[in-house]
Structure 1
Amino acid sequence: MQPSGDLFDTFPFPLWQIDASASRDAALALRREGVDDVKAYVDAHPELVDHVFRSVVVERANGAAASLLAASDPAGLLRPVQYFFDVEPQVRSRLLLSRLGGLGCHMDKFTIARLDGTEIHVAFFVTFPGLDRPEDRALAIMYDVTERELPLEGGYPSGLAPPYAPPLPAQRVGGSRPIVHELAQPLSTMLTSAETGRKWLERNPPDHERAIIQLRRIIANAKRARDLLAALRRSLE
């Protein structure tokens, strides 16, 4: 039994689970080296960007993700995340700056190539676990905005000031925090609960009662993420 399997696969938005340990290792290495100006370091070491995005690998993708990118099966998306950025490789530096800077999430907008050769514009959201976490799995969501114009007012969810921030502002929920930050909590909690539940089930004997508690947390947070994404969709229509 996998407490997160059906929920992940049937989640109504394109969803990727990513092994981001290579980006965590890079961030911790910069800390050990005492690097203060992360942007200057990234600009001076393009080989670091190439290494990270060829080492960070998609572990899981759901059916909605496969549909978005015209893949016949989600398995076709299980490879290094470099393919996200083949059309606009400059996006990698913005994303890496958020990660190396220790931020918990990043929001961006860029063009991505689908497997059928067409291209679409997407809004991209990714939430990272803390750099001190031993299991470094990120969750990413994309939303097709090809036929939509996003508003040009608001904050920069990457936490970086222009011109280094992505040109996609934060959508706000109820006039409060940016929606990308609102999404980070339930998505991170879902991933943590799934890992915890899996460990309870792998015990001998399995602890089904504690695993069910984690499953209930996953369901509750999935509903919250669904509601937030629905609010974002309405704001883009």
Structure 2
Amino acid sequence: MEPLSHQEAADGADPELPPALLPRIGDVAHAGMDEESSAWSVFDISGARGLIARIAAGDMPDGWTRALLDAVRVVDIDDNALRALGPIGGRRRMVGAPVTVYWPAESWPVLAELIFAELADIPGAARTRKIVSSVFNDATVNISTDPAHPDLVFVSVGGSVTDKRSLWSLRASEERYRTLIHHLPWALVLVDSTAMLPIFDELRAAGVSDVGAHLDAHPGLPFESRAIVRVTDANRNAVELFGAGCADQLIGPVDYLFAASPDTAKRVITAHFDGRRNLTEIMKLRTFDGRLRDVQLSITYPTPPERLDVTLLMFEDVTERLQTEVQLRQLQEEYARAARIATLGELASSIAHEVNQPLAAIAMNAETSLRWLARDEPNLAKVEQLTKRIADSARHASEIVQRIRGMAGRHAPNRTALDLNRVVEEALMFVCHDIEARGIQLGVKLDIGLPRVLGDRVQLQQVVVNLLVNSLQALAGRPHSQIEITTSRDGFGGARLSVRDNGPGIAAEDLHRVFEGFFTTKQDGMGIGLAVCQSILAAHGGGISAANQAQGGAFFQVTLPPITD
């Protein structure tokens, strides 16, 4: 019987099998199988006989599997096979087509070997074999022939259907998926990490629950995993990021992904073991041409019933962004330093007075000591006492200078656990003389139960000093001036600082602008103090607000989050 041509199939010709074959097909297709979980096909192998004869004679050309199945044509299939494998258009499109058009490619070798063994009549060769199939679970394929019809082979496949969609639908879906992957604007690689699953099972069976600690105790495991977990696909942006010539260069063990960031590999394993869905972090990546890049790694781990052999890794090159952020932080630090120096300039008289106090004490005690030494009988005990006072005053002067240098100097932020009350007391040392000299009444109420905060001491001192200097300037020339500074807990477990005065307050039209950079209502002001305060507090996870009190005067409130474990 001649198979239908492609044109005949396209025109809708119906296959007509000899009536005597119909019972035979039923017997062969479903022998020992549940009809609902099996599918049968009839193939015409007449076009493959020449190749089969060559192979049987020992001439096995390269690619013979594909060539043999290309020469085998579909004669008919049952409804189960049609549902599982059929394209749009169904049986009529499949009849007369090569087997390779619809048969799952992963099982081509087994099918070709079975057909060859049956037609070449190889003694002892199996006619039934297990196959790997994207359509059937636990699939078994069986081949048989009928002497009355030597050009036909009967193929039945048993097993539960993996997916209710047909193979053609799955192929179309995968093709759309691959197209999407390859056109996304990020570097993406697909990884098959199923080799780790039996290792995880063994660890769990051994009672391991903290895989991070286990990896620290067994440093060889991350390197082993980097060798057995494999990249299976990569898009064009990944090729470009790694400086590769083509995607094939990225296919293979994932070792190169983590060569510059071995600790990242540990965290990737830990997240997978713990059953997490995602992992994101910044890591170092060494490209094929030797460049070291900063990338943001984002991993999506598969969970059942998804394909467990597809773990998606996305890389975003953030090298330039991080460099820009470093430069921005440097500018912010210089900006804050400029504001501190400007504030210190405004406090020059207070600083001079504070330094002069220990210097005057040193001079007075030194002169007194000289007089005691000039006596006919020097009083060494008194001289020793005066010398100790000189040393104490010198240390005091040194501390003042160091405090001023710390406020004016250039330094990288150093976050430590701080007592906000202590920060306030240190800040008051910069302005206390001006407050006293102007006759301003100062009220200080510090909550001794204040939670500690994580912050940079100098930067937080700068915030307090700036707020106090603003109050001093607002109160200039006003009688009965008052400043009140308080600390307390906020409603979220953090620390709160309030500074209020009884000055003229803030003009209503300026309230929303006081934290803008270079905004000032003072003739000789720079307008950077409050803007710097806001940026410092934002970097500390806190905030600052400004308001006018009902009884008059400005009110500034600062909040800082508590230290969390």
The TM-score, its normalising length taken from structure 1, stands at 0.59
In 1, the alpha carbon distance for the partners of 2:177 and 2:283 equals: 29
Tell me, what secondary structure is at the counterpart of 1:30? Answer: helix
1:147 aligns with 2:306: no
Deviation of 1:132 (Å): 7.6
In the TM superposition, what is the alpha-carbon distance from 1:49 to its structure 2 partner?
Answer: 1.1
Equivalences for 1:24-173 in 2 at 5 Å?
A: 24-130=197-303, 135-149=308-322
- Measured after TM superposition, the shift of residue 29 of structure 1 is 2.2
Aligned identity (percent) is 29
1:14 paired to 2:187: yes
Q: What is the CA-CA distance between 1:142 and the residue it aligns to?
A: 0.3
Structure number with the higher strand fraction is 2
Q: Which amino acid aligns with 1:77?
A: L
Q: What amino acid is aligned across from residue 116 of structure 1 in structure 2?
A: D
SS of alignment partner, residue 321 of structure 2? coil
Q: What residue in structure 1 maps to residue 178 of structure 2?
A: 5
Q: Name the SS for the 1:7 alignment partner.
A: helix
SS class of match (1:24): helix
Q: Secondary structure at the match of 1:50?
A: helix
Displacement of 1:7 after TM fit? 1.8
Cα contact 1:102–1:131 (8 A) shared by 2? no
How much does 1:55 deviate? 0.6
In the TM superposition, what whole-angstrom CA distance separates every residue of 1:43-102 from its partner, at most 9, and x where no partner exists?
A: 111121111111110000000110111111111111111101111212211211111111
Q: Distance in 1 between matches of 2:282 and 2:218?
A: 24
State the 1:140 CA deviation.
Answer: 0.6
Which letter does structure 1 place at the counterpart of 2:239?
A: A
Residue 176 of structure 2: SS of its match in structure 1? coil
Secondary structure of the 1:123 match is: strand
Residue deviations 1:16-41 (CA, integer Å, cap 9, x gap): 11101123332222222221222221
For structure 1, the 5+ residue unaligned runs are 152-237
* Distance of aligned partners of 1:133 and 1:4 in 2 relative to their CA distance in 1, 3 Å threshold: closer
Aligned pairs, number: 151
Distance 1:4 1:46 in 2: 36
Q: Distance in 1 between matches of 2:311 and 2:223?
A: 19
Q: Does 131-140 or 13-22 show the bigger shift?
A: 131-140
- 1:27/1:102 contact within 8 Å kept: no
Q: Secondary structure at the match of 1:36?
A: coil
Q: Deviations over 1:148-179 (max 9, x none)?
A: 2379xxxxxxxxxxxxxxxxxxxxxxxxxxxx
- Of the two, which has the highest radius of gyration? 2
Distance 2:218 2:305 in 1: 24
Question: Could you tell me how far apart the structure 2 residues matched to 1:64 and 1:135 are?
Answer: 24
Question: Secondary structure in 2 aligned to 1:3?
Answer: helix
Asked if the contact 1:126–1:141 (Cα under 8 Å) also holds between the matched residues in 2, the reply is yes
The structure whose RCO (Cα within 8 Å, separation 6+) is larger is 1
CA distance in 1 between partners of 2:192 and 2:294 (Å): 24
